[in-house]
Chains A and B, each alone.
Chain A
């Protein structure tokens, strides 16, 4: 597998996991630290060969805890570094993510969701929407969260994850699911499309000929911490203003708007088109960034639409963000599958028909 991915415009058929790994290499990822877990093990497998071939750093860590803390170490030198994992193992990384957020380190975490809670199973899931967007670490912090829905987006958003992480000095999560990780589609890698970010102003590179620098989260002064957190949240506001991304189809005159991210958004899109053929006024909004969430746009659409339906593979997590954005202007319903493959197109169409009948 390692030899056949390419940098050129030529299309190759590849798995989501390999696409993410190869895109990370092309994005200039200098260090990969990881511990295997299904359904994302192909990322580590690919990296174990490719990184050594390119004389970059690859460490098969002794645990997920070690892996994420190695990423913190590497990123504090300004390096492009990443780890990848899945659900119950990303849970182990939560403390480190809080530290990385307050230390403003550009770490990239690929989280390929599987069934939970606890050890759960290896079927696709979106049960870690909250884990990624709210987080399990302590204190006030936010991670940038990008959600691909196709294998090509696994490539494009991996590039973007490295760029945004460094541009904003903020931990960034690529949130995929087991279905996308295992799915093969034709992709083009092209070249890494973003400018390199200058890290020389803050990175720990040795204090020769300059004053020493310290990166730490310990903050004994309450006043200084207040100032810091206000500054941190001003950065999050800037990210919201500049980087919120979503796909929107047929929403302008829609009575019902389906909201879905990741692999179920594919079925929601097909279902929306089916519904349109039946004369039902249905639209689709697919958040691509989960933080920042397209709340403003949903709030605008809530003035026109009569109902939102959140389509998710979990017990209803994103629906909370939709409800916050809609702010009571219209009902928000849930169409979910707890774990496994996304709700089928027919299932979504049936639900829309039912909901249309009672509008």
Chain B
């Protein structure tokens, strides 16, 4: 099975980091995984995204995919840009703190979770990215919170380890968020 994910948002929202955590989690689960960023003349405050391809059949995954199974959109621009890229029956996970709760397509699933607001309540708005991974874990069932915790431990460098407990808390808040999952 192959699944691909795009995580997108403003520069500074931790988009690439969230992707790295997710990719590490898949690696820890012995899956083949490829992570690559949108790469160009990026700037702070502009949009940024990365794609993660998880594969447990092929050893080498193709890149530059036409369609995506899961999108995490942390801002409105990302929601608008990637909406059309979702596969039929795929998932849009949107940060409803910054994204309007509209459903322009009828053939995909939507989750609107106010991850920025929830992260703010937790004490650090920067945790919105990790919170959204908790949401993804819940709805996709492709990765567990436990593996994501281990991946956080791998990704967070030694001098930032004091932030690990808060990140794990964010992950759990995302996972436990009472989502109205309306399957299409």
Contacts and interface: CB of A to CB of B under 8 A. Distances in A.
User: Are both chains from one complex?
Assistant: yes
Contacts of B163: none
Contacts, number: 73
Contact of A13 (B33, B37, B65): B33
A18 B155 CA distance: 15
Given A11-B27, A13-B23, A185 B62 contact: no
Contacts of A323: none
Contacts of B182: none
A150 B39 contact: no
Contacts of B20: 13, 184
B24 interface: yes
Contacts of A267: 62-64
Contact of A122 (B23, B39, B65, B157): B39
Interface stretch (A137-145, A154-162, A234-242, A339-347): A339-347
A183 B61 CA distance: 12
A26 B34 CA distance: 23
B23 A341 contact: no
Q: Which of B24, B34, B40, B64 has the most CB of A within 10 A?
A: B64
Interface residues of B, number: 24
Interface string B53-89: 0000010111111100000000000000000000000
Contact of A269 (B34, B40, B62): B62
A270 B39 contact: no
B35 interface: yes
Contact of A186 (B33, B37, B64): B33
Contacts of B177: none
Contacts of B154: 4, 13
Interface in B101-127: none
- The SS class assigned to the A binding surface is mixed
Contacts of B37: 182
Interface string B1-43: 0000000000000000000100110010000111111011100
A287 interface: no
A183 B36 contact: yes
Interface of B: 20, 23-24, 27, 32-37, 39-41, 58, 60-66, 154, 157-158
Given A4-B154, A179-B63, A183-B35, 8 more contacts: A13-B27, A13-B35, A150-B60, A184-B35, A186-B32, A342-B63, A345-B65, A345-B66
14 contacts: A3-B157, A4-B154, A13-B20, A13-B154, A122-B40, A178-B39, A182-B36, A267-B62, A267-B64, A270-B58, A342-B64, A343-B64, A345-B62, A345-B65
Closest 6 CB pairs of A and B: A270-B62, A341-B64, A184-B35, A186-B27, A183-B36, A267-B62
Interface of A: 3-4, 11, 13, 39, 121-124, 149-150, 178-179, 182-186, 263, 266-267, 269-271, 341-346
